[in-house]
Amino acid sequence: MYKDYAGIVKAWEATVRKTQNSAKKRANSIFAAMSVAPADDEPGPGELHHTEKAIPNGDFYTGQWMDSTPHGHGKYLWTDGCMYVGEWYKGKTIGKGKFSWPSGATYEGDFKSGYMDGKGTYTGSSGDTYRGCWVMNLRHGQGTQNYANGDYYEGEWRRGCQDGQGRYQWKNENHYVGQWRNGKMSGNGSMVWNDGNRYDGCWEEGFPKGDGTFRWADGSSYVGVWSKDSTELTGSFYPSDTSGTEMSSNPHELLGEYLNDCVICSGERILIYPSQKMISWSGLDLDSLPRQTVSRKGSDGIRRLRRTSVDGKISNARFESFNDGLNEPSSRNGKGTRLLDLDSKGKRQPNSGFQSANKQGVTISKGHKNYELMLNLQLGIRHSVGRPAPATSLDLKSSAFDPKEKVWTKFPPEGSKHTPPHQSSDFRWKDYCPVVFRTLRKLFEVDPADYMLSICGNDALRELSSPGKSGSFFYLTHDDRYMIKTMKKAEVKVLLRMLPAYYKHVRSFENTLVTKFYGLHCVRVTGTAQKKVRFVIMGNLFCSEYTIHRRFDLKGSSLGRITDKPEAEIDGTTTLKDLDLNYIFRLQKIWFQEFCRQVDKDCDFLEQERIMDYSLLVGLHFQETSYQEASTPESHHSGSRDSDCETDCLSRADKEQDSARWASISLGINMPARVERTVRHGEPETQLVGEPTGELHDVIIFFGIIDILQDYDISKKLEHAYKSFQYDPSSISAVDPKQYSKRFRDFIFRIFLEDT
């Protein structure tokens, strides 16, 4: 057995040496001559110098070097023909650079941590060219795409697709100018054909939907409602003053024929991104073989090199394990970290010594005091969502928002014509404004079957350990996608009152940060108790594959805004407050600009609805800890993976997972960012935001505005008056909505900054 293994290692070593020699010969013909530091004049720590490095897997690097990693300007050549030339920072491609593929495609522009990020130009092998903004390998922001077939698009992009305001022109000079969503014409826009005909109006999913006008070149026009559904079509024909002729053809059919010739070009696809080609330099021994960086460790203790080529396949190599220190926790300054630090006054300061968060809450099993309530809730949701209903348009009638628009349903234990038999007690179920919430779920792209399965499947709900400050209880679905909150009657009234404005707001602003509401219901248990429980179903901001290491509830006030938990009990499930905050959040430029715009829009909406006491909920996943989580026993795959087929499948799965993760990024969700540690030198109450220390961490950040159902009623006015006698009025939470909005924005824009 050992002899066989030794033979494999020797054969591998011979292959590597052969690959190195051929790679070095090829590199000498590509790279300019470079002087190498003599062996007897070794550079010291922190000293920048030029070098040439033959990587054990056959790759080759030449350029500036410092402390065992590329740093400065350098060139890296992969054995499959890919090449990067540009700036490096501590082993990562950061700054200006050029990446080229063997196919002839190139990207030249800004890089950040291996990603195409910033402004840059991608030229495809087929002739496609994109010039504009990028975020994590995806077109995002303003940009111009020239397609190989002669079409071009100029305008806004989002997550790799046309999204926002833009102009698309076909090679035959037909063109569309207007709004886009997910790569399709959606919103208000105008399509103009080369024969002079045009359509101005509303679009949805690339087809006219809603009010619009079709105009012929002779001045005649047809004004009406457009749709793929023939039953919704209405309109009137208006002849031109000069022609006076009648309509010669059906404008809906004519427009459909015209649109068949206006296909949006998908463009050339990037098969492999530069970030997928980057290797980890941590622990890499370049002076001896057969040592190499790895991504996984099998059950036999042997590390395997996984090197992705441009066609998505993997070359696999086996070699002896080595101690690279990857399992040792570390921080940016190389020192160990504790869970909590103390500031100069001895006050508690949360640190970045992270503990993994377990599933929150207690599973509601049989015998739990709220077990029957959970069964009632699940029966009611299944009935509400599963009930047949006509297809709803996003344009709702005002009657749908009437607070009296509610449906009561009886659920006797023996069942009825519309309800199934059940083991719970007799109860009644109420749906508030069912058409509105059904349409909201459609607007938020919630699949009814998935929604019902999450809440009403075989898995029980989880109850959070303690009620909120308002006395409300919270329940989480088993998959963490939805949160259910019990409500007071006053909160229900506020939600119903603001529902028309809320619907209009979330429809107008796709990236709104305010809480997403999916349903409003009530359970009334019959009998002597006559107990009523009202509750709302919301999206859970922290439903993610990433572990949340730190979470903050931020308002911009200081009175009572500190966590009262003992230091030892604080973990990733603890919600910290304003006076616990010891970070400022740095967003990439395009995200920061969008964030500022959206916070202003959301605060304007809440101010107009007389809402106060809301918070910005922030969750942080620190990426430095990712390798520790990945190396837990649960993440290991048992058995040997000697088969190339198995490894290729694993590569494809990883690649698809990465692509899906990048595509899932939106404002406040899965966003890459950086945080900078801050320290308060005075009393926290007098220094709400600490001073930056320069200690930066890469994070995935989540944020959203929550608790938006507290209006400035008489109780809050009395609370404000009473506390103003004892404390600084600017420090208390209960203030007039206009003042609250201003203070909230001022605070948020102090702790969120553009990452430069």
Q: What percent of the chain has pLDDT over 70?
A: 71
Q: What is the pLDDT of residue 718?
A: 58
pLDDT, tens only, 261-289: 788 888 888 888 888 887 767 655 555 44
One-letter amino acid at 343 equals: D
- Give yes or no for residue 24 having a pLDDT over 70: no
**What is the per-residue pLDDT across 44-64, written as a single tens digit (0 to 9) for each?**
677 888 888 888 888 888 999
- Domain 364-388+396-540: give its CATH architecture: 2-Layer Sandwich (3.30)
pLDDT of residue 319: 29
Q: In this structure, what are the phi and psi dihedrals at residue 66, rounded to the nearest 5 degrees?
A: -155, 130
**Cβ neighbour number for residue 419 with a 10 Å cutoff:** 18
Q: What is the pLDDT of residues 668-682, one digit of tens each?
A: 998 889 999 999 887
Residue 294: Cβ-neighbour burial (10 angstroms; 0-12, 13-18, 19+): buried
What whole-number distance in Å separates Cα of residue 15 and Cα of residue 12? 5
What digits encode the pLDDT tens for the residues 504-516? 999 999 899 999 9
The pLDDT value given to residue 282 = 60
Distance CA 377, CA 456 (A): 8
Determine contact, residues 152/296, Cβ cutoff 8 Å: no
Q: How far apart are alpha carbons 205 and 213 in whole angstroms?
A: 18
More confident residue, 634 or 706: 706
The pLDDT value given to residue 37? 43
Please state which of the ranges 93-97, 250-254, 393-397, 627-631 shows the lowest mean pLDDT.
627-631
Distance CA 688, CA 558 (A): 7
Place of tokens 């930066």: 696
- Mind listing the pLDDT tens digit for each residue in 544-602? 888 899 999 998 887 778 887 777 777 888 889 888 899 999 998 888 999 999 999 99
In this structure, which amino acid lies at residue 492? V
Here the contacts of 456-459 (C-beta below 8 Å, separation 24 or greater) are 456/378, 456/379, 456/381, 456/382
pTM: 0.60
| Residue with more model confidence, 607 or 317 | 607
Q: Using alpha carbons only, what angle is made at residue 605 by residues 723 and 502, rounded to the nearest 5 degrees? A: 115
Query: pLDDT-derived band of residue 374, with 50, 70 and 90 as boundaries?
Result: confident
Position 13 confidence tier, pLDDT thresholds 50, 70, 90: low
Confidence of residue 658 (pLDDT cuts 50, 70, 90): low
pLDDT band at residue 473 under the 50/70/90 scheme: confident
Query: What would you report as the CA-atom Rg of the chain, rounded to the nearest whole angstrom?
Result: 30
Q: Which of 249-258, 505-514, 632-641 has the highest mean pLDDT?
A: 505-514
Higher pLDDT, 743 or 303: 743
Q: For residue 754, what pLDDT band results from cuts at 50, 70 and 90?
A: very high
In CATH, which of 2.60.450.20, 1.10.760.10, 3.30.300.30, 3.30.830.10 is domain 49-261? Answer: 2.60.450.20
Q: What span, in angstroms and rounded, lies between the C-alpha atoms of 275 and 658?
A: 11
Find the range with the poorest average confidence among 23-32, 142-151, 388-397, 445-454.
23-32
Task: Give me 733's structure tokens.
Answer: 């939470």
Residue 580 and residue 552 in contact, taking contact as beta carbons nearer than 8 Å: yes
Low-confidence winner among 33-37, 216-220, 487-491, 694-698 (lowest mean pLDDT)? 33-37
Kindly state the tokens that stand for 244. Answer: 């006076």
CB 385 within 8 A of CB 451: yes
Which residues neighbour 447 within 8 Å (Cβ) at sequence distance 6 or greater? none
CA 258 from centroid of its chain's CA atoms = 37
Give the pLDDT of residue 244: 54
Tokens 């996943």 belong to 621
Q: Which residues contact 270 (CB under 8 A, 6 or more apart)?
A: 105, 122, 137
444 φ/ψ angles, rounded to the nearest 5 degrees: -85, 5
Residue 721 has pLDDT above 60, yes or no: no
At residue 106, does pLDDT exceed 50? Answer: yes
Among candidate residues 480, 381, 491, 399, the one with its CA nearest the CA of residue 436: 399
CB atoms within 10 A of CB 236: 9
pLDDT in tens, 376-414: 888 888 888 877 777 777 888 888 898 888 888 888 888
Round the average pLDDT of the chain to a whole number and report it: 75
pLDDT tens digits, one per residue of 204-241: 888 888 888 888 887 888 888 877 776 767 778 777 76
Name the CA dihedral angle for 667, 671, 673, 679, rounded to a multiple of 10 degrees. Answer: 80
DSSP state of 58: S
Render pLDDT for 515-554 as a digit per residue (tens, 0 to 9).
999 999 999 887 666 688 899 999 999 888 888 999 999 9
**CATH 3.30.800.10: which residues of the chain?**
364-388+396-540
**pLDDT in the model for residue 516:** 95
Range list for CATH 2.60.450.20 in the chain: 49-261
Contacts of 299 (CB under 8 A, 6+ apart): 636, 637, 638, 639, 640
Provide mean pLDDT across the span 320-349: 35
pLDDT classification of 723: cutoffs 50, 70, 90: low
Structure-token pair, residue 622 = 């620190």
The CATH T-level fold of domain 544-624+666-755 is: 3.30.810
Burial class (CB in 10 A: 0-12, 13-18, 19+), 173: exposed
